[in-house]
């Protein structure tokens, strides 16, 4: 089974609208962390937001928020007030707290295109 699943290969959103990028995960480890990264066409991976498995509240970071539903094993990224500069590939990733070391396991990504 895939550890990280991103089911949306591509998404379009109008400028200034909100968009949700889906991510589901699979782990039996009670301690884990979930990350979202942005990768523009230039190639660098930019850290956006982090959610720990024991965090009681959903993480927020500026226009980014993480809709964490532990029972459903989902960690969707919500981008509010989309901007043209948000057009990029977005990756969801997981670090498992024990047994998985500190490595990140990434999904296949979602290509987001923000339109005027």
Partner 1 sequence: GAGVSQSPRYKVAKRGQDVALRCDPISGHVSLFWYQQALGQGPEFLTYFQNEAQLDKSGLPSDRFFAERPEGSVSTLKIQRTQQEDSAVYLCASSLGTMGPQHFGDGTRLSIL
Residue 31 CA to its chain's centroid (Å): 18
Q: What x-and-dash track marks residues 20-49 binding partner 1 by CB under 8 A?
A: -------------x-x-x----xxxxxx--
Pull the structure tokens for residue 46. 């930019």
54 binds partner 1 (CB under 8 A): no
59 binds partner 1 (CB under 8 A): no
- Per the listing, tokens 């005027």 go with 116
CA distance 26 to 14: 31
Pull the structure tokens for residue 34. 């979930």
70 binds partner 1 (CB under 8 A): no
In whole angstroms, the minimum distance from the beta carbon of 20 to partner 1 comes to 19
| Residues near 62 by beta carbon (within 8 Å), at least 6 away in sequence | none
Beta bridge partners of residue 74, listed in sequence order: 24, 69
| CB closer to partner 1, 74 vs 105 | 105
In whole angstroms, the minimum distance from the beta carbon of 15 to partner 1 comes to 26
Contact residues: partner 1, CB under 8 A: 4, 33, 35, 37, 42-47, 50, 91, 93, 95, 97, 101-109
């Amino acid at each position: 089974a895939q550890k990280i699943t991103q089911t949306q290969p591509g998404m379009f959103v109008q400028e200034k609208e909100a968009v949700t990028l889906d991510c589901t995960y699979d782990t039996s480890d009670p301690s884990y962390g979930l990350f979202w990264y942005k990768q523009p066409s230039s190639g660098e991976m930019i850290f956006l937001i982090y959610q720990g498995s024991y965090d009681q509240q959903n993480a927020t970071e500026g226009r980014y928020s993480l809709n964490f539903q532990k029972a459903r094993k989902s960690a969707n990224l919500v981008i509010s007030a989309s901007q043209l500069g948000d057009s990029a590939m977005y990756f969801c990733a997981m670090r498992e707290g024990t047994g998985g070391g500190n490595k990140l396991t990434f999904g296949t990504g979602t290509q987001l295109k923000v339109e005027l």
